[in-house]
Structure 1
Amino acid sequence: MVVTAAMVKELRERTGAGMLDCKKALEENEGNIEKAIDYLREKGIAKAAKKADRVAAEGLTSVLVKGNDAVLFELNSETDFVAKNQQFLDLLEKIGNIIVNSNASNTEEVLALVSEGQTVEQLLLGATATIGEKISLRRVMRVTKADGQGFGAYKHMGGKISVLTVTEKEDAEVAKDLAMHVCVFNPRFMDRASVDQETIDRESHIIHEQMAQDASLASKPAKVLEGIAAGKLAKVLQEFVLVDQAFVKDPAIKVSQYLAQHKNNIVSYVRLAVGEGIEKVETDFAAEVMAQANIK
C-alpha cells in the first residue's frame, strides 16, 4: 500500500500528530486511516495531539554559544508552573544541545533533527503526553560571527528573556554588558540609520498633532516650528535606538560613548522574550472546573 501525501495530511488534521508519526502509522496499518488513529492513540501520540489547539504562551527561551555559532530558541508550555518543572528544564537543555550541535537555523529544520532515534518533533509530542500540557518549539535563530568578533549572551529570570549581542572586537565584558542593556531597554533599532521611514513618519505625525494643540506655539514661525519638531523627533528616537540610549550601568553616558571608551562597536543583537506576539487566552479557572464537572 502506497502512503500518499494526502493521506498523511488527513491523518495529521484528524490527530494533530507529527508528519513522520502519521506516515509511519499509515505504513504500519496498510493505509487504513481509522486503524492508524488507533495506532497513534496506543502510542500516546494522539493523546498529546489533542492538546495541539491549546495556546502555549508560557515557557522559557535560551541562548547557547559554540565557537563562532550561537543559537537562540523559545520552548513554550501552557502554564508558568510547568516551565519551572525540572522535566521541562531538562527538555530545554536537551533541545538546546541538539540545536547548537547541528546546522539547523529555523524551527522546521530543528523539528526534523534526529537524536537518540527520534526527531525533535517526536520528542516534543512525548513531552506533551508525559507532562500533560502542550509543549512546543516556537522560534529558533542561529547567529554566526566572524573570527575576531565577540559574542555576549545573557538570560534573565532563567530564560524569560534571552539576548545575544555581536561586537566588532572580542571583549566578553563589553558584549555581556550590551546584552544586559538590550534585555532591560529592548531597543527597536541598533542605530539611527536602521530606523525605517514608516516609524519616522508616524512619530513625526504624532509630534505635529501635539504641537498643533499647543496654544503657546501658535504664533511661532514655520521655520521655528520645524526646528522644534526635529528636536522632539530626535528625543523620541533616542528611546528606540540602542546606541543613543542611556547605558544601563551608567545612565550618565550613552551606549555609543560606552562603546567608544572600549574602542568597540556593536554589529548586531537578538532579543527573545517568552510569549511575545502570542495572544494569550484568559480563562476563569473556577468556571472551567465547574464546566468540566457539569456543575451549573
Structure 2
Amino acid sequence: MAISASMVKELRDKTGAGMMDCKKALQEADGDMEKAVDILREKGIAKAGKKSDRIAAEGLAAVVEKGNVACIVEVNCETDFVAINDNFKNFVNEVAEHIISQRPASVDEALGQAYKGEGAPLSEVLNEQIAKIGENLSIRRFEVIEKANSAVFGKYLHGGGRIGVLLVLNNSTNEELAKDLAMQVAAARPTYINRDQVDASELDREREVLTAQALNEGKPENIVQKMVEGRLNKYYEEVCLVEQTFVKDPDKKVKALLKAENAEIARFVRYEVGEGLEKKVDNFVEEVMAQTKKQ
C-alpha cells in the first residue's frame, strides 16, 4: 500500500515519533494506522511524544572546538541521574558536533537539519534518544563563535558540564591563560567584559540605589557622591570580568594578567544548566496521598 504524507503526519501527531520512523512503521503495517502505532510503541519510539510536556531542567553543557570555530551547547533532561549517564553525555557531545559542522542559526533550524549532514533530521534523533533514555530531552540553546588566527579559545566545564564557558582571547596563543579566564567566568559569573559594556540605564539605577543607601545611613550630602563612586567600583568588580580579582591569585586583577600578555578578551559565553527554568520539586508525601485517593 502506498503511504501518503498525510498518513505519516497523522501517525506522527498520534505518537510524537519522527517522520521516518512513522513512515517505516506504516510500511511495515501496510497502512494500518493502529498497527503502526503498536509497532512504534513496541519499539519505544511512541513514548517520546508523551514526555514532551514534562519539565527538563537538568542536563549538561558541552564545548567543542574545530580550528577557528567553537560551539557551546546546553541539552536538558529531567533528572540529574540521567545527566551523568554515558548515553546522555555522548548525545550532548554529538549535538555539539552537529551544530559546529552544520552551523544552524537557531535550535529550530538545527532540529530540521540532517543529522551531521546525512540521514534523518536531528529532531528524529532526539526523539529516538527520548525513547531510549526514558525522559524528556530538549536542546535548549547554543552559540557558535569564530576567532582569528591570532586568538585562542578558552574552554572550561565545571561539574562535568553543569556550567560551561567558551571565551575568546585576542592577541594571544596562551591556551593556559585562556582556560584560566574561562574558569574565572564560571566561578565569578561576570555579566560584562569591561566597564564600557555596562548598560547606561543599569548603571543609573545602581547609582540611584547607592545614593539612597548612603543618605539613609545619615551620611552628609557633600560626601555622598564620593561614597557612591567608591561603591560603584565594587559594583564594577562584581559585573565586569577585567575588574575582578583573579580566582587563582587574589593578589592580581584580571586586567593585570591581560596587560602582561598584551591580550584582550573579545567575548565570553557562560551557560549554567537550568538557569531560568522552572524545576520540578517532588513532594513524595503528597504524591502518595494523591495515589491513595484514586484507589
Aligned alpha-carbon RMSD (Å):
3.0
Residues 20 and 120 in structure 2, CA contact (< 8 A), matched pair in contact too: no
Residues 191 and 242 in structure 1, CA contact (< 8 A), matched pair in contact too: yes
1:91 is displaced (CA, Å) by 1.6
Any stretches of 5+ residues in structure 2 without a counterpart?
none
Q: Please name the residue that 2:134 is paired with.
A: 132
Task: Verify: 1:269 aligned to 2:268, yes or no.
Answer: yes
Using the alignment, how far apart are the partners of 1:130 and 1:2 within structure 2?
28
Q: Please name the residue that 1:71 is paired with.
A: 71
Task: Verify: 1:153 aligned to 2:155, yes or no.
Answer: yes
1:270 is displaced (CA, Å) by 0.7
Residues 58 and 274 in structure 2, CA contact (< 8 A), matched pair in contact too: yes
Using the alignment, how far apart are the partners of 2:142 and 2:105 within structure 1?
7
Residues 11 and 22 in structure 1, CA contact (< 8 A), matched pair in contact too: no
Q: Superposition pairs for residues 26-45 of structure 1, below 5 Å?
A: 41=41, 44-45=44-45
Task: Verify: 1:122 aligned to 2:124, yes or no.
Answer: yes
Post-superposition Cα deviations, 1:212-260, rounded to whole Å, max 9, x if no partner, equal 2112x1x443xx3222222222221221110000011111121101111
Any stretches of 5+ residues in structure 1 without a counterpart?
none
Residues 106 and 141 in structure 1, CA contact (< 8 A), matched pair in contact too: no
Task: Verify: 1:198 aligned to 2:198, yes or no.
Answer: no
Question: TM-score, normalised to structure 1's length?
Answer: 0.85
Higher mean displacement: 33-42 or 119-128: 33-42
Amino acid at match of 1:127: Q
Using the alignment, how far apart are the partners of 2:202 and 2:123 within structure 1?
38
Closer, same or farther in 2 for the Cα pair 1:294/1:16, shift >3 Å?
farther
Post-superposition Cα deviations, 1:84-138, rounded to whole Å, max 9, x if no partner, equal 1122122223223222332234312321232363222111111111211111111
1:198 is displaced (CA, Å) by 2.3
Residues 106 and 142 in structure 1, CA contact (< 8 A), matched pair in contact too: no
Higher mean displacement: 115-124 or 62-71: 115-124
Q: Please name the residue that 1:113 is paired with.
A: 113
Among 174, 177, 198, the alignment partner of 2:177 is 174
What's the secondary structure of 1:253's corresponding residue?
coil
Using the alignment, how far apart are the partners of 1:31 and 1:231 within structure 2?
75
Closer, same or farther in 2 for the Cα pair 1:293/1:138, shift >3 Å?
farther
What's the secondary structure of 2:267's corresponding residue?
strand
Using the alignment, how far apart are the partners of 1:55 and 1:134 within structure 2?
7
Question: TM-score, normalised to structure 2's length?
Answer: 0.85
What's the secondary structure of 1:204's corresponding residue?
helix
Post-superposition Cα deviations, 1:132-173, rounded to whole Å, max 9, x if no partner, equal 111111112101111211111111111111111101122211
Q: Superposition pairs for residues 1-296 of structure 1, below 5 Å?
A: 3=5, 15-17=15-17, 20=19, 24=23, 41=41, 44-115=44-115, 117-169=119-171, 170-215=173-218, 217=219, 219-221=220-222, 224-289=223-288, 291-292=290-291
Using the alignment, how far apart are the partners of 2:119 and 2:43 within structure 1?
16
Residues 3 and 31 in structure 1, CA contact (< 8 A), matched pair in contact too: no
Amino acid at match of 1:125: N
What's the secondary structure of 1:137's corresponding residue?
strand
